Amino acid sequence: MDDGRRKHKFIDATVQGRLLFALIGLELFLFTIAIFWLHHELSTIVEQNLYRVHYSNHEGAATLSGVVFMVVALVFVVNVIALWIADYIWRRYINSVVCVLKDILSGIGEMNFSKSSMHIQTDHDVLDKALQWKMQEQQYYSDIKEAISILPDEINPADENSIAQVEKDLEKLQSLIAMAK
């Protein structure tokens, strides 16, 4: 049963996969460093208080809570920076696709089928389909132009052969125009 939901959730699996992999790797690295840092600090606190006669519970807790606060703050700041960088990369990638797509679509809208002024640097399925559509439209308008160029400027009403040929050419032109609808 198809309930209309998309089966693929990625817009571009390559870029999104790389960004996701990088963010997961960064998180693993950050939390590994954080665990080692906390372990080191906890070991230091235990070692400082191991041979004390008068143990003060508050002294070690204050030191450990300060280190935990620093670790959490550092992880937060690094994550915000990483997400900002990922957002920048993603926006740049999307803009590279959208700019080329706008250029292709405006060229089709203006019936300008010459080479695009923008160099396509991004390989994307949407751009491939847009270029394919542009080539189809170019062929379609080329066929119409050819069909119109075959029509004579004047028709001799007495010549039945020329009238029949013009009717045949007009039918071909009408069928080409009907294909666009």
Question: In b/e form, how buried is each residue of 138-175, taking b as 16+ CB within 10 angstroms?
Answer: beeeeebeebeeeeeeeeeeeeeeeeeeeeebeeebee
CA distance 165 to 122: 48
3-state secondary structure 40-86: HHHHHHHHHHCCCCCCCHHHHHHHHHHHHHHHHHHHHHHHHHHHHHH
Decide: 130 and 104 in contact? Cβ < 8 Å.
yes
Enter the pTM of the model: 0.62
Tens of pLDDT along the chain (181 residues) come to: 456 665 655 567 778 888 889 999 999 999 999 999 989 988 888 887 777 666 666 666 777 788 889 999 999 999 999 999 999 988 888 888 888 888 888 888 888 777 665 566 667 788 888 888 888 888 888 888 888 888 887 877 787 888 888 888 888 888 878 876 6
Q: Give the angle subtended at the CA of 177 by the CAs of 175 and 179, to the nearest 5°.
A: 70
